[in-house]
Amino acid sequence: MTTKIDSLQAIMRSRDLPLLAITAGPDLLYLTGLGFHVSERPAILLIPANGQPLLIHPVLEAEKVKNRSTVPLSSFPYGEIKETWWQVVAEAMKPIAHDADRIGVISTNIRFLEMDMIHKASPNLHFFAADELFQALRMQKSRQEISSIKKAIEIAEKAFMETLNYIEIGRTEKEIAAQLVLNLYRFGSDTELPFSPIIASGPNSADPHAVPVERVIQEGDLIVIDWGASHNHYISDITRTVSMGKPSDKFTLIAQTVKEANTRARETAKSGLPCSEVDAITRAVINEAGFGEYFTHRTGHGIGMEAHEAPYIAADYAFPLQKGNTFTIEPGIYLPGEGGVRIEDNVVINTSGAETLTSLPRDLFIIE
């Protein structure tokens, strides 16, 4: 059976890339099934273009490596004496790095700690960014991966609907966030959530990446709620907006505009269409309504094992969508000092277009 590492090595050979180093995080988990906390004890997976990969890891993780890896690999454990770690790296690299002049890394994940260990072990190697290799490998989701994302969406939607019953005037943003997290766990989310929920009320809802604070919910507030669940290490990422009482005419119009932009993008996205065009379609709806300057972020981003991964639904990202791509559509309008509205759905590209995986209503949730 062809493994994910086999597929990666085939890409490496086609591009004449001799060696990769993958550190603790989603890429290592994706390739081997082994999850490591990012900590002062590094884990480094070394992948040659040919042959078996090697894993450098703390000795305390030896049993996990032995029993839970989904692929064959050579194990190189190290002990507690930090000064000797690079020597273990050197031992591991000796048979695979003698002909290599460069080593690929994931630029957004690797730390100086791991790079320094590799450099000490093999000082003639030059580092280069290999992010695109993993984007190509991970963007097209299998049926099993999509099934896990669907389950993460189901959990998240149930948790949200339960949390709606808790939202009332006098609660704080932090209290609502805590209740939402509790409900995510109650309905079956993995304990490691994709991100901390956003509960942004009143003027705070004009900040797309606000964090919950002690602000008390008041009559007339809009509340942007952005949350997600995890299932089998795959995630959902959803946003809906709540109105405490009947919204003003201005925010009723804004909510209708955001909903129309969201709908237009989901109906238009299809295999072969550049991501930048999906972004342009979304933005055109908001521009035509006169709110263009208040849509301050891209239309969406990929989801999978990470809350933000390729493909990116952005003006400067011309990648053509492909079957199996899973991503968000999340237009928003944010009026500084007043409030904002965002509607975020999760979709997957299939043979007929974009299938919307989220099922919650997209109108404002009005709490009287």
Residue 199 has pLDDT above 80, yes or no: yes
Looking at the fold, whether 66 and 131 belong to one and the same domain comes out as: yes
Mean pLDDT of the chain: 96
Q: Work out whether the CA dihedral 158, 148, 225, 260 comes out positive or negative.
A: negative
Please indicate, yes or no, whether residues 122 and 182 belong to a single structural domain of this protein: no
99 shares a domain with 30: yes
Task: Tell me the per-residue pLDDT of 140-156, one tens digit each, with 9 for 90 and over.
Answer: 999 999 999 999 999 99
User: Which candidate, 233, 41, 262, places its Cα nearest to that of 149?
Assistant: 233
For the chain, give the percent of residues with pLDDT over 70.
100
Whole-number pLDDT of residue 136: 81
Token digits for 219? 């009559």
- Provide the pLDDT confidence category of residue 132 given band limits of 50, 70 and 90: confident
Q: How confident is the model at residue 119 (pLDDT cuts 50, 70, 90)?
A: very high
Domain co-membership, 222 together with 76: no
Residue 1 has pLDDT above 80, yes or no: no
Report, as an integer, the average pLDDT of 184-213.
97
Q: Give the pLDDT band of residue 62 (cuts 50, 70, 90).
A: very high
One domain for residues 122 and 212:
no
Helix (H/G/I), strand (E/B), else coil: 52: coil
77 lies in the same domain as 41: yes
Q: What is the CATH number of the domain that holds 362?
A: 3.90.230.10
Which of 84, 117, 138 terminates a domain? The answer is: 138
Q: Is the pLDDT of residue 367 over 90?
A: yes
Q: Which of 138, 172, 197 is the last residue of a domain?
A: 138
State how far the alpha carbon of 290 is from the alpha carbons of 104, 279, 284, 329, in Å.
46, 17, 10, 20
The region that residue 245 occupies, defined by phi over 0 for left and psi between -120 and 50 for alpha, beta otherwise, is left
Q: Sorting pLDDT into bands at 50, 70 and 90, what band is 97? A: confident
**8 Å CB contact between 26 and 49:** no
- Residue 98 is predicted with a pLDDT of 79
Residues 58 and 166 in one domain: no
Which pLDDT tens digit goes with each residue over 161-198?
A: 999 999 999 999 999 999 999 999 999 999 999 999 99
Q: From CA 237, how far away is CA 194, in angstroms rounded? A: 8
CATH number of residue 28's parent domain? 3.40.350.10
346 and 201 co-located in one domain: yes
pLDDT over 90 (residue 273)? yes
Q: Do 96 and 72 belong to one domain? A: yes
Q: Which of 327, 314, 238 is nearest to 282 (CA)?
A: 314
Q: Do 111 and 172 reside in the same domain of the chain?
A: no
> Are 350 and 261 in a shared domain?
yes
**Would you state the pLDDT for residue 134?**
84
- CA 242/CA 244 separation, integer angstroms: 7
More confident residue, 112 or 100: 112
Is residue 209 classed exposed, middle or buried when 0-12, 13-18 and 19+ CB atoms within 10 A define those classes?
A: exposed
State whether residue 272 is helix, strand or coil: coil
Instruction: Provide the domain count of the chain.
Output: 2
Q: Which of 130, 125, 120, 123 is nearest to 22 (CA)?
A: 130
* Same domain flag for 335 and 256: yes
Of 233, 323, 189, the C-alpha closest to 32 is: 233
Q: Of the ranges 9-18, 213-222, 245-254, which one carries the lowest mean pLDDT score?
A: 9-18
Domain containing 181 equals: 143-367
- Please state whether beta strands 74-78 and 54-58 pair in parallel, antiparallel, or not at all (unpaired): parallel
Last residue of a domain, one of 123, 138, 153: 138
pLDDT in tens, 301-354: 999 999 999 999 999 999 999 999 999 999 999 999 999 999 999 999 999 999
